[in-house]
Structure 1
Amino acid sequence: MAEMTYRTALVTGASSGLGRGLALWLAKHGVRVFATGRRLSHLQALAAEAQAAGAAVEPVVMDVSAVEPSQERIRAIDAECGGLDLVVANAGIGGPTHGKRMDWERTRSIIDTNVTGAAATLCAVLPQMVERRRGHVVGVSSLAGMRGLAGHAAYSASKAFVATFLESLRVDLKGTGVQVTCVYPGFVKSELTAKNTFPMPFLMETEDAVERMGRAIFAGAAEVSFPWQLAAPMRVLKVMPNPLFDATARRLK
């Protein structure tokens, strides 16, 4: 497949963390970026930083868990800009959901954003991309989605959904001109991880993680996972027999 030239991109969850970093990285590489999020002031600060670097980021206030309005907005942007080349479903939330202290409201919130919101983002202009025989959809999963981690049932499951959803899309879209990439980050410095109260091995700087994401997207990689020091053992856990995994997960929690 020939390497794509990216003119336009939409990145969700761009108010902070990986989404903000990727939006800025893409803009600095000459892409017109529509940066979406719920906090206008954060998006405006991002746009100002991009402008100072001679790049173009356009703030779009959007809550991906509000599916219909979000899809309508993405489709309107697609029509206005002459077709989005890249759509990145990055918006996500976390938090503990322990089986012994299950909080349904938190669980539902994680599903609404990480599952329903991500799928709606990825699907919003996919038919148009297929018709144009051009485009790239990217979803941000997590190394935590490779197995059901103790105390984080909703988060692990939500990220497993993203990975499996993208895998099926990748198979379906082969030969259409539409590329699919799944990103599996480990621990990256962000507002989300700053709230964690447990050890975060091999915690990465946001800039390093963004660089790896951006290069993988431009290369049309099917998957990218980082850091390797955490990705390698997580892939071992993925194929580990359940009794052994259960014992290991209980020790790790």
Structure 2
Amino acid sequence: MAERKYETALVTGASSGLGRGLALWFARRGTRVFAAARRKDHLQTLAEEARAAGGTVEPVEMDISRTDETIARIQRIDADCGGLELVVANAGVGHNTNGKRFDWERVKQVLDVNVQGTAATLGAVLPQMVERKRGHLVGISSIAAFRGLPRNAAYSGSKAFLAIFLESLRVDLRGTGVRVTCIHPGFVRTEMTAPNKHPMPFMLEPEDAAERMGRAILRGVPVFSFPWQTRAAMGVAQALPNAVFDPLMRKLR
């Protein structure tokens, strides 16, 4: 697949981690990046770093869990910039949700952000992209989407939703000129993974992860999972029957 260049892009969850890395990666390559997150001070620092590197990042204070506001704001950005060519739905939360100590408030926060907020982000200007016959929607899912992991019912479920949501959009949008990409990262050293006490094999640094994701986005691949070692391990987990998978996960827990 031929690589594309993007004049404009929106990246959510851009105040830290993968979103920050992707926003800076595209800005350094000449894309005008609208970096969205709740922490505006972090976005201002990102904008200054991009400017020092010759790029353009425009901070956008946004809480994607407020879906109506999110859609309206993205639509305004789209109209003002002459059309967003790339939308990266990266913002997400990853609270532990242990079934033995079920906490609805934690579950709700994960679903509000990772499901409703992400769907609102991806759908905000999709009709306009279809009308223009160009555009690219990217969702950052997770290796955790491939099976239900211990203490992660909400997170694994939300990432599985995103993968299937994007797959259906990809099928619907074939032939429209609008590309769809789902990315499944493994463990990356970010604020979200910092509290984890369990082993995180094959962990990548954010810069390495952003490089891999950026290249995959430019190629327009439909699905990209990395690193290959973690994807291979999850492939084995997917193939395990429940009678083997369930007790194995209880031991890992």
TM-score, scaled relative to structure 2:
0.98
Corresponding residue for residue 110 of structure 1: 110
Distance 1:212 1:118 in 2: 21
Displacement over 6 Å in runs of 4+? none
SS in 2 for 1:179: strand
User: Does residue 57 in structure 1 map to residue 57 in structure 2?
Assistant: yes
SS in 1 for 2:193: helix
Corresponding residue for residue 41 of structure 1: 41
Corresponding residue for residue 221 of structure 1: 221
Corresponding residue for residue 205 of structure 1: 205
Corresponding residue for residue 89 of structure 1: 89
Shift of 1:98: 0.6
Whether the 8 Å CA contact 2:96–2:151 is kept in 1: the answer is yes
Identity of aligned residues (%): 64
Whether the 8 Å CA contact 2:142–2:185 is kept in 1: the answer is yes
Shift of 1:3: 4.5
SS in 1 for 2:216: helix
| 1:170-196 deviation line (CA, Å, top 9, x unaligned) | 111111100000010111011111121
Query: Aligned partner of 2:22: which letter?
Result: L
Shift of 1:200: 1.0
Shift of 1:252: 2.0
Whether the 8 Å CA contact 2:9–2:87 is kept in 1: the answer is yes
Tell me the matched-pair count: 253
Corresponding residue for residue 132 of structure 2: 132
The CA RMSD measured in Å over matched residues stands at: 1.0
SS in 2 for 1:30: coil
Shift of 1:112: 0.2
TM-score, scaled relative to structure 1:
0.98
Distance 2:44 2:93 in 1: 21
Gaps of 5+ in 2: none
| 1:39-85 deviation line (CA, Å, top 9, x unaligned) | 01000000000000010000000000000011100000000011000
Shift of 1:135: 0.2
Distance 2:168 2:107 in 1: 25
Gaps of 5+ in 1: none
Moved more, 190-199 or 55-64: 190-199
Shift of 1:24: 0.2
Distance 1:117 1:165 in 2: 13
Distance 1:163 1:78 in 2: 25
Corresponding residue for residue 153 of structure 2: 153
